[in-house]
């Protein structure tokens, strides 16, 4: 069975990718499984460029097919920020909680109709002589006034769905079905089936 290397060390993404790719005719492996320690400078100007940089670097290191994503939260009232810089929003010293607090501070006082936002993800599959292919997913919503929920990671506790729940309040299977990453990975999985 061919290996598919997840080009990430983010534990939240590893959990989501592993669930979403279950049932594919590939052995899904992590960098830790393979003893791979790769750091990729995300110097691209788009999600697709950053995902491609990661997929190609991990594919070279693992000598196998790799799947990477780049994703971000785009808030309309902030001109699409934090966008490409979602994981570094506010600077290197902030963790997920700190970034959420900063985001809420920057939206303080805005009414619900001015808090529209979306998660966007681009997944790239590359390596082992295959041409790199990209797949996009978008998850529309808004930013809540305060964090809620214990599941998910990143901005999930403040990403509000139209039904009033946050992404962090969704059961994992439902989040996988609705989310930007879930949409993009399902498209990538259909392509991977053709390579198996």
Please report the sign of the dihedral spanned by the C-alpha atoms of residue 170, residue 171, residue 175, residue 177.
negative
Count Cα neighbours of 43 within 13 Å in the Cβ-side half-sphere. Answer: 3
Give the Å distances, CA to CA, from 154 to 60, 73, 116, 129, 151: 28, 10, 17, 34, 10
With residue 131 as reference, give the H or E element that holds it: strand 130-143
**Cβ distance 180 to 120 under 8 Å?**
yes
Give the Å distances, CA to CA, from 185 to 17, 98, 149, 171: 8, 28, 24, 18
With residue 140 as reference, give the H or E element that holds it: strand 130-143
Catalytic residue, candidates 33, 69, 70, 96: 70
Is 41 annotated in the active site? no
Indicate which residues carry an active-site annotation: 70
């Amino acid at each position: 069975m061919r290996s598919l290397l997840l080009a990430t060390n983010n534990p939240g993404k590893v959990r989501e990718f592993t669930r979403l790719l279950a049932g594919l005719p590939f052995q899904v492996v992590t960098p830790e499984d393979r003893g791979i320690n790769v750091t990729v400078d995300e110097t691209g100007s788009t999600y697709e460029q950053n995902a491609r940089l990661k997929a190609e670097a991990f594919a070279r290191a693992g000598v196998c097919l790799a799947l990477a994503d780049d994703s971000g939260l785009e808030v309309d009232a902030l001109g699409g920020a934090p966008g490409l810089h979602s994981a570094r929003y506010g600077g290197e010293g902030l963790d997920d909680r700190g970034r959420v607090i900063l985001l809420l501070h920057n939206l303080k006082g805005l009414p619900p109709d001015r808090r529209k936002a979306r998660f966007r993800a681009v997944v790239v599959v590359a390596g082992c002589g295959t041409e790199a292919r990209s797949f996009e997913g978008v998850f529309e919503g808004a930013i809540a006034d305060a964090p809620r929920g214990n599941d998910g990671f990143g901005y999930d506790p403040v990403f509000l769905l139209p039904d009033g729940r946050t992404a962090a309040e969704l059961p994992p299977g439902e989040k996988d079905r609705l989310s930007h990453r879930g949409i993009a990975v399902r498209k990538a999985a259909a392509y991977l089936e053709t390579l198996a």
